Amino acid sequence: MIEYMITSTLRMGTPIALTALGGIMSERSGVVNIGLEGVMLASAFGAVVGSNLTGSPWMGILFAVAIGIVISAIHSVISVTWGGNQSVSSMALVLLATGLSGVGLKAVFNQQGSSPQVANLPNSPIFKDIPVVGEFLSSLSPFVYIAFIALGIVYYVFKYTPLGLRITTVGENPKAAETAGISVAKTRYMCVICSGILAGLGGAFLSIGPMNLFQEGMVAGRGYLALGAVTMGKWSPLGAFGAAMLFGFFEAVQLYVQTIPNNPIPSEFIQMIPYIASLVIMATTMNKSLNTGIASSGKPYTKFVQQR
Amino acid sequence: MIKNKKVQEIGLNFIISLVALVMAIVVGGIIIAVLGTNPFEAYGALLKGAFGTPMATTVTLTKSVPLILTGLAVALAFKCTVFNIGAEGQLLVGAMAAAIVGAYVELPAILHIPLVLLSAIVAGMLWAFLPAVLKQKRNVHVVISTIMFNYIAQYFVQYLILGPFKTTEGAAAQTNTIHQTAMLPKLLPKPYVLNLGIIIAIVAIFVVYILLNKTSMGYEMRAVGLNRNAAYANGINVDKNMFLALLLSGALAGLAGGIEVTGSLNKIVNGFSPGYGFTGIPVALMARNNPFAILFTALLMGTMRSGSLMMQSSVGVSKNMVDVIQGLIIVFLCSEYVIRYYIKKRRSQGGLV
């Protein structure tokens, strides 16, 4: 039971955690990226296409990451160069991703609603020979390890490197950053594209991780949950990762409750659990006086917009 | 002079929207061409599907009605800098409330129709109330909470349709048909579908316009939207106004659901809304939050939705292409500052525009 819950939590939490790390990258540089939901969706589709074309799920991941880069590049053009409203631009990404994956399903597979089955990523057999924990470790998807590695990298970058400091400066006070010779635009472009890569990995996990096909609407708000995790984790990589895994836990609970025979609770209410839980947790952890977030988050810094 | 400036601003907004629309259609056309279809044929099929016959035209108009209202809902909140992505959820619960009151209450039509629409409005408002409270009391981001409430509404309505309010007339996943007394009168003889809903939507446009521009409440909301700090400094309660804006926005989205049920569907089928609430966002953005312009942008988006099926069946381009085009419209609308910048630059160099 405990092992089942741990495995299940890791499985449900990993895509949210990867995307939440992406959210951290983007938000810490001062760019709101609600479009991560769209990035996940498009990448989930890209992963299936890549796996289908090449027969290799690893190529599928590469496709997913490439799509993540393209979609987030659009977002960075809008929000960094053009100075457009970042929440609004993010909505455009979600619409674009919904549309393109639907159009793509018809164009590539000539199907609607879902794709045919493709080769998916096997679990991690390389850990098989480790005593005691080998069986458990090898039963996890490689994505789980990728997520933890990503956490390590993001944590290290923000904690110990000049680059992390630069990103933070750009997010908090772009004018000061520019005065110090840091290119605000370049830093933000880099961060938004990194967030696209991470959310792309998260999306790929959804379609070619434990599953082996793409379905319309399969992201089901996980991109938004990831952003909730970023806020709850107070913009720290560890906090956001932890919050994402908490959401993963609630999804695992939801899945578990559904398998209980003769359960009196209607399944619709069980399916609401992750969303309600995220609202309740946000409502209890947020505080009006604290937690102001990133100072220049959502504020464009470009010649096209008058600086106040 | 002031009048002149206002006209100039409206003209500029019009140019920005037009540029965005044209760019989106061009890029959409390129995507269609890459997929191996003649884009002119595809767009032709879309227009034919929307306006090819008098019947199709009335269907298109009817499909635009909820978009007018969700567009107004999003625009009203936007005027006060609240981004209400939750219109979809508010529409769903509004429609559900209308379906319940329409089917389970018996009254003469003169009372029944207003009661049904009122219950839809209240339900939509209630669904917006919760995120509004979460924002005011606990500072939970409205964008994220309204999205969560969309999902909750979707499952909640699904539960009601499959559970307590499942139809007693058959096995389908839907509610009972509402009473005749709750149905909106038709404006045209059968088989045309146009109903009173379009008139209500147009009235709503005027109401929102008057509310925003001729009342002190609307003045405060716009002041908050224009400059929060200045509004605060002048004694306007910023939180209260944002709270109100979200509630009113929910009311309009709920009304959209109510009209969809009383006017067109007469019951709720699982998954009945093709994303009316979400489409309200491009409708409002393209109209630059101007209530009167929403009439036209809603019609535009309604045309795309209505014609997309024909495009799919006759030239084989997925109906999801419409989502792509709407996404592109928003993308290009975000270049607003760039367009303004160059127009200003040309003006200052003595050029005309």
Closest approach of chain A CAs to the CA of B276, in angstroms?
13
Q: Residue A126 has which token pair?
A: 């390389």
The secondary structure of residue A127, as a DSSP letter, is G
> Would the CB atoms of A300 and B337 count as touching at under 8 Å?
yes
Closest residue in B to A290 (Cα) is: B139
Residues of A in contact with B277 (CB under 8 A): none
Query: Residue B54 in contact with residue B192, Cβ under 8 Å?
Result: yes
Q: Give the residue from B135, B238, B151, B156 showing the smallest Cα distance to A283.
A: B135
Q: Does B148 touch chain A (CB under 8 A)?
A: yes
Inform me whether the C-beta atom of residue B252 falls under 8 Å from chain A C-beta atoms. Answer: no
Say if the ipTM goes beyond 0.85: yes
Cis check: omega of the bond before A174, within 30 degrees of 0: no
Find the CB nearest B139 among A95, A288, A303: A288
Which of B289, B334, B306 has its CA nearest to residue B74? B289
Which residues does chain A have within 8 Å of residue B327's beta carbon, measured at their own beta carbons?
92-99
Measuring CA to CA, which residue among B300, B292, B303, B284 is closest to residue B73? Answer: B284
* Å between B126 CA and nearest CA of chain A: 16
Contacts of A231 in chain B (CB under 8 A): 141, 144
Interchain pair A102, B318: CB under 8 A: yes
Smallest CA–CA separation between A217 and chain B, in Å? 12
Phi, psi of B85 (to 5 degrees): -85, -5
The structure's pTM equals 0.89
- Measured between beta carbons, the chain A residues lying within 8 angstroms of B338 are 82-83, 304
Q: Per DSSP, which regions of chain A are E strands?
A: none
pLDDT in tens, chain B (353 residues): 566 777 888 888 888 889 899 999 999 999 999 988 899 999 999 999 999 898 899 999 999 999 999 999 999 999 998 889 999 999 999 999 999 999 998 888 889 999 999 999 999 999 999 999 998 888 888 888 998 999 999 999 999 998 888 888 777 888 888 988 888 888 888 778 888 999 999 999 999 999 999 999 999 999 998 888 899 888 889 889 999 999 999 999 999 999 999 998 888 988 888 889 989 998 998 898 999 999 999 999 999 988 988 898 888 888 889 989 999 998 898 888 888 888 878 777 765 54
B78, B139, B143, B332: which to substitute to probe chain A, counting the most A Cβ within 10 Å?
B139
Chain A CB contacts of B85 under 8 Å are 91
CB within 8 Å of chain A, chain B residues 307-326: 316-326
Instruction: Give A37→chain B minimum CA distance, Å.
Output: 11
